[in-house]
Amino acid sequence: MTGNRCPFSRLTRRQAHYLMCVVLGHEQVSYVPHGVVRALIIRGILNGRKTVTDTGIEALRCCRFYSPTFVNSALERRAA
């Protein structure tokens, strides 16, 4: 995969990283630019409270920046 954007989920690396941080419970990431969070909210991947929506979960599952095993274990941890 080349470039800064996943061809399947259309997430940038920073968006995917921030989304995974939110799923893992580290949403207080201070070094993420506001535009990254804003873009995720506009696309419906995060809601206004910065929690992951169903669309965000599907985008994360489609994203190829992380292995499917890692994504599934993160999502299971989130559900627990």
Q: Is residue 57 domain-resident?
A: yes
Report pLDDT for 57. Answer: 92
Distance of CA 31 to the CA centre of its chain: 15
Angle between helices 13-24 and 34-42 (to 10 degrees): 80
Distances (CA, A) of 14 to 50, 57, 64, 74, 80: 15, 16, 13, 17, 26
What range does the domain containing 33 cover?
13-79
Q: Using one digit for the tens of pLDDT, what is the confidence trace for 2-41?
A: 568 888 889 999 999 899 988 988 766 667 788 898 999 9
Q: Is residue 21 domain-resident?
A: yes
Based on the structure, what is the number of domains in the chain?
1
Work out the angle at residue 61's Cα, subtended by the Cα atoms of residues 60 and 67, and round it to the nearest 5 degrees.
95
- Predicted TM-score (pTM) above 0.95: no
Q: Using one digit for the tens of pLDDT, what is the confidence trace for 61-76?
A: 999 999 999 999 999 8
Report pLDDT for 73. Answer: 92
